[in-house]
Each structure stands twice: as structure tokens, then as C-alpha cells.
Chain A
Amino acid sequence: MHHPVKLGANDVQWCFSQVKGAIDDDVAEADIISTVEFNHSGELLATGDKGGRVVIFQQEQETKGQPHSRGEYNVYSTFQSHEPEFDYLKSLEIEEKINKIRWLPQKNAAQFLLSTNDKTIKLWKISERDKRPEGYNLKEEDGRYRDPSTVTTLRVPVFRPMDLMVEASPRRVFANAHTYHINSISVNSDYETYLSADDLRINLWHLEITDRSFNIVDIKPANMEELTEVITAAEFHPNQCNTLVYSSSKGTIRLCDMRAAALCDKHSKLFEEPEDPSNRSFFSEIISSISDVKFSHNGRYMMTRDYLSVKIWDLNMENRPVETYQVHEYLRSKLCSLYENDCIFDKFECCWNGNDSVVMTGSYNNFFRMFERGHRRDLTLEASRESSKPRAVLKPRKVCAGGKRKKDEISVDSLDFNKKILHTAWHPQDNIIAVATTNNLYIFQDKMN
């Protein structure tokens, strides 16, 4: 059941629900959250971190005692997905940081997800065990083997209940297919195949087959010195299993049809907006680099995130987006400084809500932004410990770009550029959002009246 979203300032709806992670300001590098993803039902919420761990939270069933809030998310499973490795040929360390997690749709009692670091994708099975067999003939209850000569009667082992145990086991390891760093994985709507994309190539895998993959996009030039463009993100269409898109560092998105050819180097559609000459600067190319691309749930639109804006494209119109939302336009005059401190290379993600009416993305100072498409309204909120009282309504934030700063506004120069929200996720059906600061995961939900 979907609640209509109200974003207006007068009827602020978003409330703090929970925060996960260490409280102290000393951030351990391994705890830095690197990806956040709800599963298809929204019951499970997975995070990956720089230390290669995956933590899965499960939503409690709604209790009769608290009809005005949805179930809380509690830790369901934690496991080490990837370990650091060393590439002996290139003398390089391979980071264990989890770049992306993607859930598979649930087919049986177990849950499956794909997690990837720079080089290797793994398929994990997460299953529950709440019964165990008891009454073996040849083993004692503690596992010791009985002397067969002492067995005088036979019995049939029976299953007895036990405390719930959640096990995660790696079912497939998809390795050695990427020379460059993997930035995206995407499960196809056929639920049999998935793609993995690195800076220069996109490979197609079958979930059952680990020893080979098909290369479907390759933009590596014959001479690496001519390299001027890389792949930044890729995704399969949610309904059409033959369609995928990939974005580039030059601000273009290419839509490919796998039916056309085995190698999708020739795009079916090229989405690119001509540059606005009045905004042209030295940094135009860098800020046009697309950091994330996401199809809408209905498959009619796709959203791209570049450094300063979010754009929504109609798949039938290639020459410009249908909607553009400025995330933090006040940074346009600061690009030189942001280039110097490397913030201009930060990769922000974006996401749709369940019915594609609102989009969300992160910014600096632990701000995140929502854009309501139909009513053209936008909202800035902050994920901070200060506004972390249970069910406290979040106060809208505003950044003062110049001139006189009003009360409660924050000036651009006092923004903390070390506090960046790169990863956000929206529950597939309800108004529950997960927002990752550097090492904390905030869960907000709308106020249920």
C-alpha cells in the first residue's frame, strides 16, 4: 500500500526512525559504508562497507503495540563478503571494498544477493535455519561417534526446533573477467543473467556459470594513450531483458539492444544534452560525468546524476532530458576549489521512490535532497545525530547561496565537504528511506497519521 508523498514545508512528513553504526566521530576506515540496497520486498536492507563486509537488516513485523510506525530494521546477518587480495602481476592491492550489492528476486525460502568489489562478483545465499535433526543412531548429540557395537536399537532422527540461525554462504564466485575496476552490476529481468561493468567493458554472465562471461560492450581504444572516456555506470532495463544502458564520463548515456548484435558497441540510442554555453567552464567535462544511472520502476524513464544535477530522461527522447533538478547549484562558483580538494570527483548515487513520483540524491554536509516530479517541489533534509530523536520530524534545510543569510540557513562556506551522502535507497513500496553518511546508516520514514 503506498502513501502519497507530501513534501511541503508545512506538513513535514519525514521522521527519524533509526541510526546504525558507531556513534563516535572517529571513523574506522573499514566501517565506511559503500553501498545500500533494499531487496525487492523491502523487508531486507543490505549495506556493504569498505572492509568488505555485508550487513543485512530485516524489518520487524508491524506490531499491534505501535500502529503508528512501521517495523524497525534489526541486524539479520553479517558476513565477510570479500577479502583484500594482491595482484602479483601488477603489484597492486585489490581492495575488498564492496562497490555494489544487488538482490535477486526471491524464488524460495532463501535470499540471494550479488556483491562485488573491484574485480570479483559473488553470489551469496542467505538462509534461515530454525530446526535441526536429533536422534542419530551412530552419533551422540554432541557429535561424537558411538561405538557401533553399543547400538542395540534403531530410531529415526527427527527435526526439533532451535534458535534461529541465519547463514550466509557463497554459492558462486565470478572472477577474472575484469581488467579494470567494476563499478556496476545489474540483474536482468529474465532473472537468469546479469551484467557487470568496469571502466572500459561490460560483461554478461549467467548466474549458474562462473567460468565464462560474454563481453557485450568494449570501449577500450587500441592505443590506451587515446583514452578519453570511461564507463561510469550500467543497468538493465527493468522489463525488457534485451535492453541495457551505460553512462560515461563525458555525460552521455547509451542504450543498447542485445538483439542487434553480439557486441553492443553500436548503441541503439545516445542520450546527450548539449552544453549550455553560458555555463561553460574549465570544469564542464568533469561535472558532466555521470555518477549513477537508474531506470524508473515502470521502465519508461531513466535518471542520471552528474555532479550538480539530477536529470530525468524519457527513453523516447535522446536530445535532452525531460526534467532537470539542481542538487546544489551554489557549488558552481566553487568548482575550482572542489577540483583542488578532489570533491569534484565524488560519485553521488540517486534513487526513485516506489511509484516513480519522487527522486532522491545526496549532497554535502550530510544533506540529502528529494525532488517531487509532478509538483516540482524539492526538499533538503539532513542526516545528523542532532535530529535523531525517535520519531522526531526532520526540519527542512536551506543553503544560502549568497547575500544575506536568513535565520536557520547555512552558508555555502560553512558546509562540511567531508560529510557527504553518496548512497541512498528508497523502500520499493513504502516511504522508508535509508541514507548512508560516512559510517552511519540512517533510516527515516514518513509520519503515519
Chain B
Amino acid sequence: MAQRVVTPYPATVPPTVSDVSDTALCSPRRYMLGKGAKRKHEENEDELEGAAPAPASGEPADGPSKASYTLQRQTIFNMSLMKLYSQRAPADASLERRVLINNMLRRIQDELKQEGALRPLLLPASSPPEDPLCPATATTSPSDGTPSAPLSTEAQSKDKNGSQRPGGSASPAEERTSAADPAPPNGLDMSPSAPPSSSPSSSSGFLTDLALDDILFADIDTSMYDFDPCTSGAGAGPPKVAPVVTADDLVKTLSPYSGGSPSSGPSQPFKMDLAELDHIMEVLVGS
């Protein structure tokens, strides 16, 4: 079974938010996930800051600016995940802030999907990778050429997230290769979801947390206990069930998504996102 050789990234540990808040204006250099080539500070700043606006359609034509755009996008994606999922006191989180960060995540995810970079290999940790994977990869298999570079960037960067935990990192690449399951032997085995069952106990523990956590809006929305007299109309309607994401839900999202057609429709974009984010969080929290 061919194992893809993973090029290790330099093991830089980006600072936590508390690190950065000490400085008046954090240097963007801290977020460089570059390939180790030394560059001047000014160039780095241009690379990472607004120099590469989101293109209206398609990708930037030339290689370097596309790489910097992809890098910036990945950085922002990681930052947004950390913002939403770090353990902050609920009082801190304003709804507007969470909505804006969530919109940012969705926009980036949509872009990635459009580019075909995000493979639909989304698995709850407890189920075996084989069966859902094969139909998924079979039905959604664009050409391997173009997405491979940004995908590997993304995959590496997601591991980089894993190394953000205090206590540092062994070489993240080593972690991955050692934990990597035998992925299906096709060109799409470079998906970031390769080692899903490497640590089933911690991952399922995370899923349990996920179910209880009521991520994003559910903890504010009290649809079950909505005492708002102004909007409940003439008397209370039937009590609505508070949204709880379980492993079952995630499995259910697999079939429409891996089938290629988003038949789950616009009413469940969150659950699809949740499954994807769930997997990313696995990489962060698990193993």
C-alpha cells in the first residue's frame, strides 16, 4: 500500500492569543507557515496581509501569489477555528463576533470546496474508514494535479494546528506518518482525514464533548425555553428540541455529501460544516 511521503514543515509554534495580545500590534511574521526560506520582514508582511485579495473568480494566475493567497487563507482559517473553539467564557463571546467568524469559515470552506481541495472524507472516529471512503473518493475524484499543492499545504497546516498545543510538537509530519492508516490506494489518499481511527478513545471523547457543547449559536438560542413574549404569538407553540449534534447526525451527513450532491440542502449547511470541522478538530485534539 503506497504511503505518501510527507514533507515535514519546520516546527514553528505560532503563539496563542494571549501571547500576541501583549504586543500592541502583532507581527504577521509569527504566522508564517513558510517553507523555511528566509525572507525579509516587509516581504512577509505583504505576503500575509491584504496584498492578496480574494479573487472574484478563479485563482490568481501566477504561482507565487497563489501560494501566498493560499497561505493567507489557511492562516485565517486556522485563526478562525481557534477563535471559535478555544475555551472562552461564554460572556465574552458576542453573537455578532461568532457570526462573523463563522461566516469567514464558511466562505473559506466554500472556496476550498470549489477548488476541489477539500475531500469529502468525513468520518466520525468510531466508524471504520473503509466503506464511506471508497464511494466518496470514487464519486468525487477531480484530477489530482492542481489541488495537490494547496491540499498538502492545508494538510500540513492542519497538523500545524495540532502542534499549537502547549507542550510543543514532535515533528508533526512524523506524527502523521506514524498514525496514518493504510489509506485507499488511489491518488486521493493525500486527504487530511487519513488517520481517523488512530486514537478512537480521545476522538469519541471529543464527539461527546461536541454533542454537549452546543457550538456557536445553540448555547445562546433558547428555543426550548424561549420566554420571549413578543414573538411567541398567541400562546406557546410546541417546545422545540434544542439542537444537539450526535455521531448519528454526522453519519447521516455523510451520504448526501459523499454522494456528490448536497441533497441535504441549505437547511443543513451547519451540520455538513460541523462534520468537516469535527474532523479538523480531531486532528487538533486527538492523537
Taking beta carbons and an 8 Å cutoff, which residues of A are in contact with B? Answer: 89-90, 92-93, 95, 176-181, 199-201, 203, 212-215, 218, 220, 223-230, 232, 249, 277-286, 289, 332-337, 339-342, 345, 412-418
Do residues B96 and A277 form an inter-chain contact, with CB atoms below 8 A?
A: no
Partner of A224, one of B20, B24, B97, B223: B223
Closest 7 CB pairs of A and B: A225-B270, A215-B230, A199-B95, A224-B217, A280-B53, A281-B50, A224-B221
Contact check, B24 vs A90: say whether CB atoms are below 8 A apart. Answer: no
Q: How far is the CA of A230 from the CA of B21 in the complex (A)?
A: 27
Please report the C-alpha to C-alpha distance between residue A416 and residue B94 in the assembled complex, in whole angstroms: 24
B63 interfacial contact with A, CB 8 Å:
no
Residues on A with C-beta less than 8 A from B230 are: 177, 201, 203, 212-215
A286 / chain B contacts, CB cutoff of 8 Å:
100, 104
**Which residues of chain B come closer than 8 Å to A201, judged between CB atoms?**
228, 230-231
Partner of A334, one of B20, B25, B54, B90: B25
Whether B48 and A336, one on each chain, are in contact in the complex, defined by CB atoms closer than 8 angstroms, is: yes
> Which of B3-11, B72-80, B173-181 forms part of the interface with chain A?
B72-80
Q: In terms of DSSP, what is the predominant structure of the interface of chain B?
A: loop
B217 contact set on A, CB distance < 8 A: 224-225, 227
| Chain B positions 47-95 with a Cβ under 8 Å from a chain A Cβ | 48-51, 53-54, 56, 72-73, 75-76, 79, 83, 90-91, 94-95
A-B contacts, 24 of them at CB < 8 A, read A90-B219, A90-B225, A176-B227, A179-B221, A180-B95, A180-B220, A220-B231, A223-B267, A224-B243, A227-B99, A228-B103, A249-B96, A249-B99, A280-B54, A281-B50, A281-B54, A282-B54, A285-B100, A336-B50, A341-B20, A341-B21, A345-B96, A413-B24, A415-B24
Q: Which residues of A contact B36 (CB under 8 A)?
A: none
Q: Is the CB of B50 within 8 A of A332?
A: yes
A214, B230: Cα distance in complex, Å: 6
Q: How far is the CB of B83 from chain A (nearest CB, A)?
A: 8
- Is B266 positioned at the interface, with any CB of A under 8 Å from its CB? yes
Residue-wise interface mask of B (217-237) relative to A, using a CB-CB cutoff of 8 A (1 in contact, 0 not): 111111101111111000000
Q: Known interface pairs A230-B96, A249-B100. Does A336 touch B28 (Cβ–Cβ under 8 Å)? A: yes
**Smallest Cβ-Cβ distance to A365: which chain B residue:** B24
Q: Which residue of B lies closest to A288 (CB)?
A: B100
Closest to A416 in B: B24
* Interchain CB contact under 8 A, B25 and A417: yes
Give the CA-CA distance A181 to B98 in the complex, in Å: 13
CA distance A92 to B54 in the complex (A): 38
Question: Is B50 a contact partner of A283 (Cβ separation < 8 A)?
Answer: yes
Smallest CB–CB gap between A196 and chain B, Å?
A: 11
Q: Are B222 and A89 in contact (CB under 8 A)?
A: yes
Assess A340 versus B79: contact at CB under 8 Å? Given A93-B91, A229-B99, A289-B100.
yes
**Bound-state Cα–Cα, A334 to B45, Å:** 9
Given known contacts A92-B91, A416-B24, A226 and B226 CB-to-CB distance under 8 angstroms: no
Q: Which A residues are in CB contact (< 8 Å) with B185?
A: none
Q: Once bound together, how far apart are the Cα atoms of A180 and B221, in whole Å?
A: 8
Q: In the complex, which of the residues B26, B104, B271 contacts A340, with contact meaning CB atoms closer than 8 Å?
A: B26
Give the complex CA separation of A334 and B46 in angstroms: 10
Do the beta carbons of B91 and A95 come within 8 Å of each other?
yes
Q: Report how far A223 CA is from B216 CA in the complex, Å.
A: 13
- Across the interface, which residues of B come within 8 angstroms of A178, CB to CB? 228
Q: Is B268 an interface residue (CB 8 A)?
A: yes
Chain B nearest Cβ from A15, distance in angstroms: 29
What separation, in Å, do the CA atoms of A297 and B76 have in the docked complex? 41
- CB closest residue in chain B, given A286: B100
Expressed in whole angstroms, the minimum distance between the Cβ of A324 and any Cβ of chain B is: 19
Instruction: Tell me, in angstroms, the Cα distance from A418 to B244 when the chains sit together.
Output: 38
